[in-house]
Amino acid sequence: MNQQLPTATLTGMAQVSGGHFLYRASHRFREGGFILYDEGPRWVEVHPFAIDRYEVTNGEFRRFLAASGYRPAESHNFLRHWQGGFPEELANHPVTWVSLDDARAYAAWAGKRLPTDMEWQWAAQGADGRRWPWGMAFNPAYCNSDSSGTTPVDAHPANVSPFGVGDLVGNVWEWIDTVITDGWHRWCFIRGGSYYRATGSLWYAEGGAQPVDHHHKFLLMHPGLDRCATIGFRCVRSDGPTMSGWGTYQWAVDSTKDGLNFDD
């Protein structure tokens, strides 16, 4: 194992107290609207939980693969940025090109789970209704927004929430656990925005860092398409109940498929 991780901080979790908060999410208007979800404002209860201080990194994900033997059933675009070998220079960057199920598998292995939409917002926003982890006003120097790639998860010390959670906005979007279906579609939320901003048309999905009350409706199709260069994740852990339940996730270890092999 040749990781140079400052493990004390990168693997740590921040404690988030529970309580009632006025949940008020926003989404970008798209043709066809945004249905079957109450964006608030509404009072929700969040039970105390611990949340990863930073997104799961490439280095951490490599350890997970080595320890668990996890291989996705559908591997198209799985860790696409590792295809030339593990990118050592990205060891401290958030892992990307992982599907929601890949992320859930990691969390289950780590004895954790992915956050709910309310938990993520509460951890990022706290009680005062701020729009960015650090306050009301956006500051491009405080996060990785509108750039050409990911940065180490701890590269922006000011990108920290009232609960001490880092790198919440910009850098990469983060998977949220809740999957909603209307019988016609399956979709989930992603949070925080990313480094990438598509330009030239208003029809692109919103780019760059996004405020902490913003979530993006992400229609799920197929892991090969759903894995993105700009979506990572972080985990939470709680002993008590959460806002919404989550399942336990299992994966099939397919010994015949061993396309990825990274030494831990």
Partner 1 sequence: MNGEYRLENAELRCHFATRDGQLWFEHFTAGKAGESFLAMPALFCSVGVGRAAGATEATADELRVHWYEPAVELQVRLAGSTLSWAVHVENPQPEAAIYFPFVAELQVGAAQKTLAGMQAFQDSFGRPIFRHVDFPLPLVKLAPEGRTLTLLPGVLPQPITQSGLEPLWSAPGIPLAESGDCLDMELILHEGGWPAAFDRFRTKIRSGFDLTQYERPDLDWYGEQLVHHFTFLYGREILNLESGQFELERFLDEGEALFGGYDGFLIWGVYPRIGVDERTQWDFYDDFPGGRAGLRAMAQRARARGVRFFIPYKPWDRSADLHGRSAGPDHEQLARLVADVEADGVFLDTMSAIGGEFRTAIDRLRPGVVLCSEGRAKGEALEVITSAWDQSFSWDIQQGNWAAGPEMLPGVDLWRFLFPEHRLFVISRHAVGDDRLRIIQRGFFSGMGWVVWQDIFGLVLTYAPDEAALLKKCRTILRQHRQALWSAQPTPLIPTLVAGVYANEFPGCSKRLWTFYNENQQIVNGRILQIKPRPGCHYVDVWNEREVEVDGEGCLHFELAPRQVGAVVELPRLLVRQPNGLVSVNESIPNATLHVRQPGIDRQASLSDLGQQSLDSLLGTSKQPIIVCLVAAGEVLDQIVVQMDEGGAR
SS3 content of the chain, % helix, strand, coil (to 5): 20, 20, 60
> Contact positions toward partner 1, by CB under 8 A?
29-35, 74, 76-77, 148, 173, 181-187, 190, 194, 196, 198-201, 203-207, 216-225, 228-231
Q: How far is the CB of 241 from partner 1 (least distance, A)?
A: 28
Choice between 39 and 264, CB closer to partner 1: 39
CA–CA separation, 226 vs 119, rounded Å? 23
Choice between 7 and 181, CB closer to partner 1: 181
Choice between 127 and 221, CB closer to partner 1: 221
Choice between 163 and 218, CB closer to partner 1: 218
Q: How far is the CB of 175 from partner 1 (least distance, A)?
A: 12
Contact criterion met (CB below 8 Å) for 242 and 208: no
Contact criterion met (CB below 8 Å) for 45 and 19: yes
Q: How far is the CB of 263 from partner 1 (least distance, A)?
A: 28
Choice between 205 and 260, CB closer to partner 1: 205
Return all residues near 131 (Cβ < 8 A) that are at least 6 apart: 138, 211, 212, 213
**35-42: long-range contacts at Cβ-Cβ below 8 A with a sequence spacing of 24 or more?**
35/182, 36/180, 36/182, 37/180
Q: How far is the CB of 20 from partner 1 (least distance, A)?
A: 29
Q: How far is the CB of 218 from partner 1 (least distance, A)?
A: 7
Choice between 122 and 187, CB closer to partner 1: 187
Strands ordered across the beta sheet of 13-16:
13-16, 49-52, 236-237
Q: How far is the CB of 117 from partner 1 (least distance, A)?
A: 17
Q: How far is the CB of 226 from partner 1 (least distance, A)?
A: 8
Choice between 81 and 237, CB closer to partner 1: 81
Task: Reduce the DSSP state of residue 212 to 3 states and report it.
Answer: coil
Residue type for position 239: D
* CA neighbor of 24 nearest in space, from 14, 37, 11, 10: 37
Return all residues near 181 (Cβ < 8 A) that are at least 6 apart: 187
**Phi first, then psi: what are they for 116, rounded to 5°?**
-80, 170
